[in-house]
Structure 1
Amino acid sequence: MRKKSEERRQAMIDIAAEVFNEIGFEGASMAVISARIGGSKATLYNYFSSKEEIFVEVMLKQVGCQFENVFTALQDEDDLRAALLQLAIHYLSVVLKPDVVAVKRLAMYYAGKSELGPLLYERGPKRGWTRISEFLKFKMEQGELQSSDSWIAALQFRSLVEAEWVDVRMLNVVTTVSPAKIKISAARAVDSFIRMHEVRPSV
């Protein structure tokens, strides 16, 4: 029974995605989505508390699995630089994809118009970068990085990785970035991060 309920929920998300793509977030409503699904609003509310929650689920289903692979990549590499380089390359490769850029643009547009922004942040970026923070904290405890606030360090790493390409890609100044350029850029970001946080000998 639980499996059928989850299948029903996923089917609702797929139908809601069609509605959002056709008429946009603002034009859609729980009534419109439930009508498209073929059930009542009460049934829809049994699965989702709001239109914003459904929209977040749609976004996460469309691009979330790609980021999941990015953040789990750290588990397979013990060497600090190699792990960070692999993470940076994978992250940039995903975040610069057309479908991910489109979803991010949409999320930023609607973030100030509803509770969508906080919901998406909690379910998406915060979860992913919390994993990076935990990895960095472990490396600090192992003495491979200077001890500091690991959450701040994770955000600094993200900023360095995104610095060369994300803004120009989001604003369509650049439409494609080759794998070779991503690797070079990622290496620069990782080297800068390690220099910032390397363990310095006590004087």
Structure 2
Amino acid sequence: MTTEPGDRPLTLREVRKQDRRAAILAAARRSFLEEGYAATSMSGLLRTLGGSKATLWSYFPSKEELFGAVIAEVTAAFRQQVMAELDAPGGLEATLVKFCRSFMNKTSHADALAVWRLVMAESGRFPEVGRIFYQQAAGHIERALVGYIQQQIDARRLRDDGALNMARVLIGMTAAQQNRRLWGVEPPGSEGMDADARRFVGYFLRLFATGPSQA
């Protein structure tokens, strides 16, 4: 039976429930990313997965909750790595460069691009798509960067122009490169990301740094 560190062994029933949940998420992930939010339905997933509607709804009571679980799963590694860059020891400039480079690298992956396109295409008709994406992915990154910037403001390395506004300036610059990939103007890949990250952080520090940068 499956075990987790510090936990009791899972029962056979619990393992089966985990496996069933994973199968639902895998099918939903394919459907959302390939067919879109509007075209994905609970009844359609049941035709793919088999089983009863009651069983599916016992795991995910609504399409919105299922979509949120898919977004959380797709972006989990991305969120963890990008946020870890802000927790690692290092100077202000070096940390922000690593953050931007990691952000651009992770958002260039195929699943990340598919999610971004889905959100941009369908959030106008289905506002819950954008709200869920922000709650499960973008909001975590933004809050982590706000927290880091506030620490630097408190340490008097950055002037206080509102940590949230400052975070959005930096994220906005890095997200601009994402748009170029979405439009097909720039191919996916890491070439040039380090130079872009250093340039964006340079702009940011010229706006907000209180003294010489700390690499």
From 140, 143, 146, the counterpart of 1:127:
140
Residue in 2 that maps onto 1:60: 72
Deviations for 1:133-167, whole angstroms, at most 9, x for unmatched residues?
0011111111111123111111011112234x222
Secondary structure of residue in 1 paired with 2:160: coil
| Paired AA for residue 83 in structure 1 | T
Tell me if the contact between 2:71 and 2:137 (Cα under 8 Å) persists in the aligned partners: no
| Paired AA for residue 98 in structure 1 | A
| Paired AA for residue 27 in structure 1 | A
Alignment of 1:116-195 (within 5 A): 116-163=129-176, 165-179=177-191, 181-195=192-206
| Paired AA for residue 52 in structure 2 | S
Tell me if the contact between 1:160 and 1:193 (Cα under 8 Å) persists in the aligned partners: no
1:69 counterpart = 2:81: yes
Greater length-normalized contact order (CA 8 Å, ≥ 6 residues apart):
2
Shift of 1:22: 6.0
Give the CA RMSD over aligned residues. 2.2
1:36 counterpart = 2:38: no
Flag the structure with higher helix content. Answer: 1
Deviations for 1:1-60, whole angstroms, at most 9, x for unmatched residues?
595344432221012223445654323211222343322222222222321321232233
| Paired AA for residue 187 in structure 1 | R
Distance 1:45 1:57 in 2: 13
Deviations for 1:180-201, whole angstroms, at most 9, x for unmatched residues?
x11111111001111111127x
From 61, 82, 89, the counterpart of 2:94:
82
Could you tell me the TM-score, scaled by structure 2's length?
A: 0.81
Alignment of 1:104-119 (within 5 A): 104-114=116-126, 115-119=128-132
Instruction: Return 5+ residue gaps in structure 1 as ranges.
Output: none
Deviations for 1:99-129, whole angstroms, at most 9, x for unmatched residues?
3212210121121222211111111101111
Residue in 2 that maps onto 1:196: 207
| Paired AA for residue 54 in structure 1 | L
Distance 1:159 1:22 in 2: 27
Segment drifting more, 89-98 vs 185-194: 89-98
How many residues are matched? 198
From 9, 14, 21, the counterpart of 1:9:
21
